[in-house]
Structure 1
Amino acid sequence: MMKRNIYNETKKRSKLRLYLGKQYYTFKRYIKWYFGNEKYSKDILNYQLPYLIFTHNTPLIRKLQGVDPVLQYNKVTNLKIATSRVNGICIKPGEVFSYWKLIGKPTKRKGYKDGLILNPNGTFGAGTGGGLCQLSNLIYWMTLHTPLTVIERYRHSHDIFPDSNRTQPFGSGATCVYNYLDLQIYNGTDKEFQLIVYLTEDSLVGEWRSVEPSQYNYEVYEKEHFISSTYWGGYIRNNKIYRRVYENGILIDDEYITENHVIMMYQPLLPSK
């Protein structure tokens, strides 16, 4: 089943089919937002909760071969706008954090610029609000180090660039497309959690904070990382993501998180420099 879905990514779909499909899933999301049973977080605090649970940061500008650098600088503008919509959001017990419900649709009228986007066929180009996946990637990665539960997340369908100074397991991000590819996080604890996100001169920084210190620590890692060939001549990159849960320094659980099967857009064996 998983391989059939991957191979279908290589099929060309008409512009009409793509447009109608996008409209259908967009409308379906609106129905769920406004008529579903979920209670979505909406309260932004003007102060920080006292205890830092986890923090992480990622560089704003990367050296990417074949990518117009202007798209990266535009991405920084896009991230400034998006982070202003979620910075300080408080997720109370029983509430759901919805990435797109809080940020809203990125449009030029709101100040968003053309940034780097990944097309369905695995190529990249320019699109309004491009680059916001860096924020969803950051939030997802941080959430894996908390007791919060990710209830909706989508992996990237293509692996575009070879690893360069990778510090996280492959496939530990979360792609986002307004509004049907959403990142949603449920607070099943009895404590409030707060998301802090902001930009420095060269980094996107994130924090999860709470009203009490956490008694748990988490180690996210990968298993079964391998590359497989396909009947159509391409390659698929595969792995599984797990996390070890420690309570007061003692290992208490080893949890399966997700798995990735992604089309590679480069040769798996690159010549050495």
Structure 2
Amino acid sequence: MTITAPAPNPAEHDVLAIAARRTPLSKRHPSLLPLARFVHRERRHLDWLLSSTTWATTRSEENLPVRVKQHGSLLLRQLGEAEMWLQHNKITNLRLAAAETDGIVVRPGETFSFNKVVGDCTARKGYVEGMRLSNGEATPGVGGGICQLANLLHWMFLHSPLTIVERSEHSFDPFPDNGRVLPWGVGCSIVYPYLDLVVRNDTPHTFQLRTWVGEKHLRGELRADTPTGVSYHVDARGEEFLRVPSGEVYRRNEIWRTLIDTRTGTAYAEECVKRNCALVKYLPEEHRIRDVAQE
């Protein structure tokens, strides 16, 4: 079996390096934040305008014949102390965003951009205040909650041969694992237009997204025109909570993907697709925390 993994890097070094990172200029000088956002927005819009990328924009209401992956995520969960009205509003936002991604076809050589397809989630388009994460805290914001749709899409993409070009993870672990179904560390952070989820189709297959809001779940399917010949198992490994000398607790893990030949059922390759390390915003059970000494 082929195993692909990053170069060894002890967990303690990961966490201490992240804990010692310098605070971004925009956080040390909040007055610069609007300028930083403007620069990022214009840079992204310019990239969309001038890029030679062929963007996926075609939509089809007729299902492609092969279902590659399906997934559903619960619409309402109690997340820490977050107010439930934000989650109820989130459903409105998810209905609007899921309608934008539903039916999108990604042909060979095309690239799918979440932000380019969904667009800016403004009140003018019908989006309402939902739950957003700011520095790991739940706050109201127009369009809040659409990250759940990006999370669902990313999970399905991980179970396909599509190439993940861009994905921004949350820099905090904001809530305990109450009712968690997917591994921690496979979510996405979406901020229009500069934090995006982007995948490219480097295969000979054509793929299609189907997304909708059900009674209790956000639903999604990734479909294809022909069988891909491979299935995927995705899991988290090396999960642990580490406390640095400052008293902060960080969570780390690795996301691994096993490739399985669908004709024989044989696993023939494993790859580490992501290493995660984030500041924990709640207090884990003490017995789960390991102290890390400063070098």
Aligned ranges 1:1-273 → 2 under 5 Å: 3=15, 4-5=17-18, 7-8=20-21, 12-119=27-134, 121-247=135-261, 248=263, 249-269=265-285
Task: Report if aligned partners of 1:85, 1:103 keep a CA contact under 8 Å in 2.
Answer: yes
Alignment partners' CA distance in 2, 1:27 and 1:124: 27
SS of equivalent to 2:31: helix
TM-score (norm 1): 0.94
Name the SS for the 1:263 alignment partner: strand
Shift of residue 185, structure 1, vs aligned partner: 0.6
Q: Distance in 2 between matches of 1:134 and 1:6?
A: 27
- Of stretches 218-227 and 62-71 in structure 1, the one that deviates more from structure 2 is 62-71
1:61 deviates by 0.7
- Aligned pair in 2 of structure 1 residues 261, 196: CA closer, same or farther (>3 Å)? same
**Which stretch of structure 1 is more off in the superposition, 257-266 or 64-73?**
64-73
Query: Which whole-Å deviations, capped at 9, do the CAs of 1:79-100 have from their partners, x for residues lacking one?
Result: 1111111100000000100000
Paired amino acid for 1:153? R
Q: Residue 38 of structure 1 aligns to a residue in which SS?
A: coil
Residue-pair matches, total: 270
Deviations 1:206-227 (A, max 9, x none): 0000111231110001222122
When the two chains are superposed, the root-mean-square deviation of aligned CA atoms in Å is: 1.7
Unaligned regions of 5+ residues in structure 2, if any? 1-12, 288-295
Alpha carbons of 1:9 and 1:88: their partners in 2 closer, same or farther (altered >3 Å)?
farther
Identity %: 36
SS of aligned partner of 2:131: strand
Judging changes above 3 Å, is the alpha-carbon distance between structure 1 residues 142 and 175 closer, same or farther for their aligned structure 2 residues? same
What one-letter code is carried by the residue in structure 1 that aligns with 2:273? I
Alignment CA distance shift 1:221-1:9 (3 Å): farther
Q: Which amino acid aligns with 1:82?
A: A
Cα deviation code 1:176-197 (max 9, x no counterpart): 1111110001101011100000
Q: Moved runs in structure 1, 4+ residues, more than 6 A? A: none
Quote the offset at 1:15 in angstroms: 2.5
Deviation at 1:232, TM superposition (A): 2.5
Secondary structure of 2:112's counterpart equals: strand
Distance 2:78 2:126 in 1: 25
CA contact under 8 A between 1:6 and 1:262: conserved in structure 2?
no
Q: C-alpha deviations, 1:87-117, integer Å up to 9, x for none? A: 0000000010000001110110000000000
State the alpha-carbon separation in 1 of the partners of residues 52 and 283 from structure 2.
Answer: 46
Separation in structure 1 between the aligned mates of residue 131 and residue 22 of structure 2, nearest angstrom: 20
Residue 38 of structure 1: how far off its partner (Å): 1.1
